[in-house]
Chains A and B, each alone.
Chain A
Amino acid sequence: MLHGYEDQLWIGLKMTIGVASLSLLVGLVLGMLGATAKLSSNIFARKLADTYTTFVRGIPELILLLILFYGGTILAQKLFSALGSEEYVEIDAFTAGVLTLGFVFGAYATEVFRGAILSIHKGQIEAAQAIGMNRLQVFRRIMLPQVWRFALPGIGNLWLVLLKDTALISVIGLDELMRKTYVAAGSTQDPFTFFAFAAVIYLTLTAISMAVLQTAEKRLTRGVKQI
């Protein structure tokens, strides 16, 4: 049915999962930093985080990807020649993809984490301070365990979006699932089968993710009264 392209598609699938996982890591870090900045008392940090989320959420992912992929190479080139290096540097599709998707994920995650941090009861933090915990301890022992719980549904949704957005990187030629599918569809003249197959794979990834998220949510809320 797949004209012997199974291996190629398998390689593509692994690349898709790899890119998505790495972007998730970058995005989570950026999201945490963003939320901290948005809630900080430093006005500069707040403005910076506001600008970040406003810009990233208002610009198509594809445009950001193209800016980073084509523009990034030129910028890196200029930077290196300014430093007196003759080396040829290039932002490859993989790096551009991970950075873009991580960047986008981080912007949305900033809002999710901010909401999660705000939903922690003030009394708990006051109690922690009253028994003499310092700020780091309050963060690690009181806030972090609960932030994960509050943020999980939102982060889960973002992960599902991220998984699908990896298909965009095929536009700049990264050999992930979508690109492999596109090539196979073109050379076999059987596009419907291949694109439908890719759709099924993405649906499967979504279904698996949803099942895992549900289990995780149950586990994280096992100590919470369910209404």
Chain B
Amino acid sequence: MLQETYELVRDSLPALVAGAATTLELVVIALIFGFVLAVPLALMRTSKNPIFMGFAYGYIFYFRGTPLLVQIYLTYYGLGQFEAVRESFLWPIFREAYWCAIIAFSLNTAAYTAEIFRGAIQAVPHGEIEAARAVGMSRVLQYRRIILPSAFRLALPAYSNEVILMLKGSALASTITILDLTGAARVIVSRTFAPYEIFITAAVFYLLITFVITRGFIWAERRLNPQLRRPA
């Protein structure tokens, strides 16, 4: 029995490792795109211009208010329905489940990240901004030198949660035929019908990745906030 389990897990490891690599790839690419989108969204969300603010509000409300699964299906199954999409130069992208997952994940994490940044921007101590103004910095310079760096530091703990949520959300890629960690596990299970062993092994993989991410963020937080370190 134990021998059997061991062999089963051992034989499925290569496929699971390949799946884990795909998962990491999806998550990293989506996080990068999401981050790039989130900064302007957060700025729009805190802007006084009602059009910018309204757009960012609507965007964030939609992506935070609907299941990620709906967003994935809409991108993968929904868009292909339109002739205009099928005939456009973007079709090679929307045809691939892989890119659809990346698009859905990026747009989704951008909404959550924008909301985190908004909170952080608003939490930047007012004195810092006044000081920047007092030395004559322009709006842009204030944002570049004072507000954004401070906000990123403040956002770090909440952002680490978002990264973990994105990792867990990426399991949904398996529903549109992608062989990520979950997808690989599901294929092996359908072949061996050993759901326990395989899914639990996959779960351990996810736990390990989560652990590394958490550690990484603790390290980054300590590096970026030297004032919080205990004096040597």
Contacts and interface: CB of A to CB of B under 8 A. Distances in A.
A138 to B, nearest CB: 33
Contacts of B43: none
10 contacts: A58-B210, A66-B199, A67-B199, A71-B200, A164-B65, A195-B74, A196-B78, A203-B66, A206-B64, A207-B65
B62 interface: yes
Interface in A165-210: 165-168, 170-171, 178, 182, 185, 189-192, 195-196, 198-199, 202-203, 206-207
A206 B65 contact: yes
B174 A199 contact: no
A168 B195 contact: no
A55 B200 CA distance: 11
User: Which range holds the interface residue count of chain A?
Assistant: 35 or more
A59 interface: yes
Interface in B119-171: 164, 167-171
Nearest to A203: B65
B34 to A, nearest CB: 18
B185 interface: yes
Contact of A62 (B80, B164, B182, B195): B182
Given A164-B67, A167-B67, A192-B81, A63 B203 contact: yes
A223 interface: no
Interface in B185-224: 185-186, 189, 195-196, 199-200, 202-203, 206-207, 210-211
B175 to A, nearest CB: 6
A170 B206 CA distance: 22
B211 A58 contact: yes
Name the residue in B62, B67, B164, B202 with the highest tally of chain A Cβ atoms < 10 Å from its Cβ.
Answer: B67
Interface residues on B, range: 35 or more
A74 interface: yes
Contacts of B99: none
A5 interface: no
B81 A190 contact: yes
Interface string A39-52: 00000000000000
A189 B77 CA distance: 10
Given A74-B196, A192-B82, 15 more contacts: A58-B164, A58-B211, A59-B207, A60-B182, A71-B199, A164-B67, A167-B67, A167-B69, A185-B73, A190-B81, A192-B77, A199-B66, A199-B74, A206-B65, A206-B66
A195 B73 contact: yes
